[in-house]
Amino acid sequence: MASSKITVEVDNVSYTDEVEPRLLLVQYLRERLGKTGTLIGCDTTNCGACTVHLDGVSVKSCTMFAVQADGHKVTTIEGMATDGKLHPLQQAFHQCHALQCGFCTPGMIMQSASLLSENPHPTEQEIRDGLEGNLCRCTGYQNIVAAVQAVADGTVSAGSNETETAGVA
């Protein structure tokens, strides 16, 4: 199969590669770039484990071909921390115990970031609606919602990896 040349900015680094047109974006991220923080749960657009941002908007990377990302900017969970400091959502998931096995967590955080960029002060129901495309088999969702709410309320911020701040339970 003929390959195509693509140039994609991923987590602020530009990559140019030859890819087969059938290569999924999630496969490109994981297998070519080693971005294994982006997970594959279902491969059928159902679970959200593969969620990344394309030009700042969340997409399920098992639903896109890598060639469709040509000329675009992709952010993965591995690009969320800056200067060695966790993103507030990463901090909040940690503090609120919003994960157990962790398999859904990268996708949950990417989707939550997209949700908060569109709606910085969501209600609980708006958080639940915004995360409905991301499945978690472990937590019952309550602490995930609490983590997103904590960031929206400003009770969690980036800057450390400590557990005693914020007053969230």
Task: State the residues that interact with ligand FES by CB under 6 A.
Answer: 40-43, 45-50, 60, 62, 99-104, 136-139
CB of 97 or CB of 157, closer to ligand FES: 97
Give the Å distances, CA to CA, from 67 to 54, 75, 165.
13, 16, 43
CB of 111 or CB of 149, closer to ligand FES: 111
CB of 34 or CB of 167, closer to ligand FES: 34
What minimum distance in Å lies between the beta carbon of 42 and ligand FES? 4
What minimum distance in Å lies between the beta carbon of 104 and ligand FES? 3
CB of 82 or CB of 142, closer to ligand FES: 142
What minimum distance in Å lies between the beta carbon of 125 and ligand FES? 20
Read off φ and ψ for residue 146, nearest 5 degrees.
-60, -40
Q: Are 15 and 27 in contact (CB under 8 A)?
A: no
HEC letters along the chain: CCCEEEEEEECCEEEEEEECCCCEHHHHHHHHCCCCCCCCCCCCCCCCCCEEEECCEEEECCCCEHHHHCCCEEECHHHCCECCECCHHHHHHHHCCCCCCCCCHHHHHHHHHHHHHHCCCCCHHHHHHHCCCCCCCCCCCHHHHHHHHHHHHCCCCCCCCCCCCCCCC
CB of 40 or CB of 81, closer to ligand FES: 40
What minimum distance in Å lies between the beta carbon of 54 and ligand FES? 13
What minimum distance in Å lies between the beta carbon of 78 and ligand FES? 17
